[in-house]
Amino acid sequence: MKNRDLFFESVKDLEGPGFSGRRFQHFHGVSGMCHRVRQRGFTLLELLTVMTILALLATVGLVGYRHHTRAAREAVLKEDLFQLNHALEQYMADKGKYPSDIATLREVGYLREIPVDPMTDSKDTWVTELEPPDPDNPESERGIFRIRSGSEEKDDNGVPYKDWSY
């Protein structure tokens, strides 16, 4: 059978109770019989199904991404709190008193830089706690003995980040 013996006509399959809207090609062979061949492509239902599955997968991925970025920020906060409070203790051991502000730790060389609070994205939101007054010398200058985050947010257990301690 040669190509010139066949001819194609493209029509839309509109017949029958199961109208699918699919395009078929009809070809007539040498015998004159009409045969239908389905053209390639996807139906609207198939496309919607695939798009729904992709949307669900993207949603699951986004939730996981947010959880992991929050966990990373919490890990950075724990490390920053440890380093800041450790620097306070080193300053106390060397000088015999706590510093009056956080900037003193950087100026004297106990910290390279004051870290950014990962929960507030600012260097200026660290909350400092002053040491209790000395009962023998109530007029003495009080220094910083603890540093905490200034964030009002809470972790997964409901504990505010401002209450975290190293």
Contact between 133 and 165 (Cβ < 8 Å): no
Alpha-helical runs (H) found in the chain = 44-95, 102-108
**Per the domain annotation, does 59 fall within a domain?**
no
Task: Read off the pLDDT of residues 59-118 as tens digits, 9 standing for 90 and up.
Answer: 999 988 999 999 999 999 999 999 999 999 999 999 999 999 999 999 999 999 999 999
Domain hosting 17: range is 3-38
Does 156 lie in the same domain as 82? yes
Is the Cβ–Cβ distance between 111 and 128 less than 8 Å?
no
* C-alpha dihedral, 153 to 156 to 157 to 161, nearest 10°: -30
Rounded mean pLDDT, 14-18: 50
Residue type, 159: V
Give 33's contacts (C-beta < 8 A, 6+ positions apart). Answer: none
- Asked whether residue 139 is domain-assigned, the answer is yes
Instruction: Residue 114: name the closest of 141, 147, 144, 145 by CA.
Output: 147
Q: Are residues 82 and 158 in the same domain?
A: yes
Answer yes or no: do 96 and 27 share one domain: no
* Two structure tokens written together for 131: 């040491």
pTM above 0.85, yes or no: no
pLDDT (tens digit, 9 = 90+) per residue, 21-62? Answer: 555 555 555 566 665 655 678 899 999 999 999 999 999 999
Query: Is the confidence at residue 6, as pLDDT, over 50?
Result: no
* Within a domain: 48: no
Three state DSSP letters for 112-145: CCCCCECCCCECCCCEEEECCCCCCCCCCCCCEE
**Token pair of 50 as six digits:** 């695939």
30 and 104 inside one domain:
no
- Same domain as 135, residue 79: yes
| Each residue's pLDDT tens digit, 113-158 | 999 999 999 999 999 999 998 888 888 889 999 999 999 999 989 9
Distance CA 110, CA 21 (A): 75
Query: Does residue 134 fall inside a structural domain?
Result: yes
Same domain membership, residue 151 and residue 97:
yes
Return the residue matching tokens 């507030």. Answer: 120
Residue 84 and residue 17 in one domain: no
Instruction: Give the distance between the most distant pair of CA atoms in the chain.
Output: 117
20 shares its domain with 80: no
pLDDT score of 81: 96
Total residue count of the chain as it appears in this document: 166
Same domain for 22 and 81, yes or no, is: no
DSSP 160: B
pLDDT of residue 41: 86
Residues 83 and 153 in one domain: yes
Shared domain for 18 and 81, answered yes or no, is no
In a domain, 155, yes or no: yes
pLDDT-based confidence at 9, cuts 50/70/90? Answer: very low
Number of domains observed in the structure of the chain: 2
**107 lies in a domain?**
yes
